[in-house]
A and B are shown apart, each in its own frame.
Chain A
Amino acid sequence: MTRGMLMLAAGLLATLPAMAATPGDAHVNVVVPAHQNLVLPNGLKLILMPRPDLPLVAFNLVLRGGARLDPEGREGTAALTADLLTYGAGSRDAYEWADTVEGAGGNLDAGAQGEAILVRGQFLARDGNLMLQLLADAVLRPHFAADDFEKLRDRRIEELKAIKDSSPEALLGNYGRALLFGTHAYARAVGGSEASLARITHDDVSHLYASEFGADRATLVIAGDFVPAQMQETVAAAFGGWRRAPQALPPLAEPQRIKGRRVLLVDAPGAAQSYFWLGNVGVPRRYPQRAALQISNTAFGGRFGSMLNQELRIKAGLTYSASSVFTRGTVPGDFAISSFTQTDNTAKAIELALATLAHLRHDGLDGATLASARAYLLGQYPLAFETSAHWAAALGDLDLYDLPDSYIGEFGTALTEIDAAAVSAVIASAYPDADNLAIVIIGDAAKVRAAVAKLGPVTEMPLSAADFRP
């Protein structure tokens, strides 16, 4: 039982005493530890960050592409492909693989995101060579055994059903993005749906691997306790033979904001609460006003004392948590508000969230709130960069979105330079109008149908349906 969900979602974290900070003050910034950026002849990018404080070494291999390359109707293909990388590779079958990784106390996990497949892990420093050997096997020599493929696909389908039985709120984004992004790649559920997973064949996985994997699509970050020159040699030996990808990554279209409201009611008979998501297209990862954006969203829905949590939880007692987040990709992803409330209060809570959004857009932030949000970000930011695993993840992420180290290392300075005008401009442009939103409600339709009809034109589907759209 905790008091509040940790709302330090990606992008909301933060350094030093803001109050004392002045523009250009180096102490407000996180220091990015020294690292080498190299490129192998086959195009593989290698980033080495030695940090010998603990006897651990972490890695993060970022393979550009990810779920956005899933074939239409076969969402989840990249995720299944990633899963299978660690189900037997090189000289080891799936069981020998797990015995080897876990026998060394290590971990090595592959998974998909919207725009990449990530293979991440951490081993004791003494097992650094084994780690690289396993990673190279996973990426260059996966088995993709047909029976493992079927077993894993069937399990992923059952896991989705189990999430509906245990934490339906975790699926809000899947329904929301399907409703919001239409035919754009960002509409796709990264893990797939029960229906799309069932359509995926073993050939789909093999095809995705053959056409979308290659050294020039990948960046390998290694951080921790190792000797750089030796590590560089080991990586060159292990990955030097990796071929380039047969084709270039296609560009992503720019998604368009929706106009008006569309409401999807996902029927969960007997649900004690309604879980809701209100979203529209937001801003990209390379959004130039990122510091002002994060200040505004920290104040609006990114911390315990945020406007949304103040209104819905602290003042009204309608919910345990209300928050907002910008998911930012190569092109603009979604801005979404999410919360939940007792079934009888569904419309009331959603209307309060809409009113709070309208209030933000109409009145902006006062000076004290702006200063507080800035201080909060400055104070929390260093906590995101403590470990080698943090740095491996962060540097891989910078590379994926083509961002400079200063994105981290000068974020503090950027925050200190933001004034009220900058924040107002961002609020006016990055946040949707309360009249233009995709709205998803997971709840007991028989009890909330009438009350939510006033929010906009409603489409209904059952939670047990095998897809995330009607």
Chain B
Amino acid sequence: MSFAAAASQVSTRTLSNGMQVIVWPDHNIPSVVLYNWVHVGSRNEGSGTTGLAHFFEHMMFNGTARRAQGEFDRLLEASGGSNNAFTSQDVTVYQDWFPRSSLELVLELESDRLANLAFVPAVVEKEREVVYSERRLRVEDSNPAFLEEQVQASAFVAHPYRIPTIGWPADIKSWTLTDLQNFYHTWYAPNNCTLVLVGDVEPEQAFALAEKYYGPIGRGPAAQPVRTTEPEQQGERRLTVERNGQNPLLMLAYHAVSADDARAPALNLLQTILTGGDASRLHRSLVEEKKLAVEVGSGWSEGFDPNLYLISATLPEGGSVAQFETALTGELAKVVKDGVTAAELARAKNQQAVQFWRGVSTLDGKARLIGEFAVLHGNYRKLFAAPAAYEAVTAEQVLAVGRDVFKPQQRTVGILQPRAGAKH
């Protein structure tokens, strides 16, 4: 079956309370994967409550009016299921992987926590410590993540993409129960969710169970849009961080586009051309030939609003950041001046094509991809049109998006210098 034809396997229904349900049957293994995409992320937070979306990702496992803390995991695991969740700037996503026989239990558990979450002060305090531990792991004991947090906060002056998803330390320490309750009642409502079920399940069976368990939950208030747009940056910003460590780091952040932007496929192909693999331009030039960096990577977060295109590099101990930066910006200037070659574009398209096939080779990959397209790109059907859309991108379009994004006056340069004499 062709990629485009696979769209016919998918069924979708919107419940009367506004919840969208997407079902993609796949009977390869006797398992089901559920992704519940809640349309809230750190972009919906404000001063003093940063990190709340992520904190909910944790609180949603900590008990409801009907079930004590730990029951969710206990019941799910005892029926063969596992779960996790992740939070981004745009969304909070709850994931379950389970045998088909547990479908009804999972929907009951998921709907219960969407409707009846408990707020027990002692539980909140413990989870606050857990989240702070996660922050120490991911940000405070990681030089690259620490630098990225600073770059993000500098590149945006107005738009809430400046907020770190894990939250600022002072906010993690000080959220109140009222903050939590307000957040929950604002964002955790069926009309603000996209429920994806992939695997050994039939659409009618899934819709009937979704209706049974989610149907009785009332519609919530209409989500408030993020009104702030980032004003145009009119000049390079530059910041330096000094930390214990061995390797200098450099990060360039350019203002890019949103997920549903028509230029997104071209930008993804450009990303593959620049840093996707050993044959990519920046890797070959800066790591292999000039040996100025140990590693160089890039990417952008496809979100509701235009986010950053980040290029990050790890330099060898004692390496010159200035020399590396000159070489890197020189490579970007070449892209903006001359564009990319036909061979580079063909390679990127082939890499992208394989990536789509590999993406849909697991239930989990299917749930992730179809949810991303449904939520962030506005329609799940765009997933099935995506390979053709990528195939149609021209070298001119890649050049154009390169010119739109890699503007020196719209970049933020972040440098992490290891503190003199203070190795770990």
Contacts and interface: CB of A to CB of B under 8 A. Distances in A.
A181 B291 CA distance: 36
A169 B137 CA distance: 9
A136 B397 CA distance: 38
Contact of A102 (B136, B141, B244, B347): B347
A14 interface: yes
B16 interface: no
A52 to B, nearest CB: 11
B246 A318 contact: no
A314 B97 contact: no
Contact of B101 (A17, A155, A269, A385): A17
Contacts of B347: 99, 102-103, 105
Interface stretch (B74-82, B206-214, B332-340, B405-413): B74-82
A379 B353 contact: no
Contacts, number: 255
A272 B146 CA distance: 12
B140 interface: yes
A1 B138 contact: yes
B354 A164 contact: no
B102 to A, nearest CB: 7
A98 B279 contact: yes
B245 interface: yes
A164 to B, nearest CB: 6
Chain B interface size range: 35 or more
B155 to A, nearest CB: 19
Given A341-B133, A387-B362, A165 B247 contact: yes
A384 to B, nearest CB: 10
Contact of B144 (A102, A166, A379, A462): A166
B15 interface: no
A454 interface: no
A259 B347 CA distance: 56
Given A1-B138, A2-B86, A103 B279 contact: yes
A208 interface: no
Contacts of B277: 98, 102, 107
Contact of B82 (A272, A341, A380): A380
A55 interface: yes
Nearest to B83: A304
A167 interface: yes
A347 B30 CA distance: 44
B73 interface: yes
Interface stretch (A60-68, A369-377, A401-409): A369-377
Interface of A: 1-4, 6, 8, 14-20, 27, 30, 53-56, 94-95, 98-99, 101-107, 122-124, 151, 154-155, 158-159, 161-162, 164-169, 267-273, 303-305, 310, 313-320, 340-342, 368, 371-372, 375-376, 378-380, 382-383, 385-389, 462-464
Interface of B: 28-31, 54, 57-58, 61, 69-70, 73-74, 77-88, 97-99, 101-102, 125-134, 136-138, 140-145, 165-166, 243-247, 276-280, 284, 287-288, 291, 294-295, 314, 316-317, 343, 346-347, 349-355, 357-358, 360-364, 418, 422-424
Given A371-B78, A383-B31, A389-B361, 14 more contacts: A2-B86, A3-B85, A102-B280, A106-B354, A165-B418, A166-B143, A168-B141, A273-B140, A313-B130, A375-B79, A379-B82, A382-B99, A386-B28, A387-B358
29 contacts: A6-B84, A15-B30, A16-B80, A16-B99, A16-B101, A98-B277, A99-B279, A101-B279, A103-B279, A103-B346, A105-B347, A105-B353, A151-B288, A158-B294, A162-B247, A165-B246, A268-B141, A317-B128, A318-B133, A340-B137, A372-B74, A376-B78, A379-B79, A382-B29, A383-B362, A386-B363, A463-B423, A463-B424, A464-B423
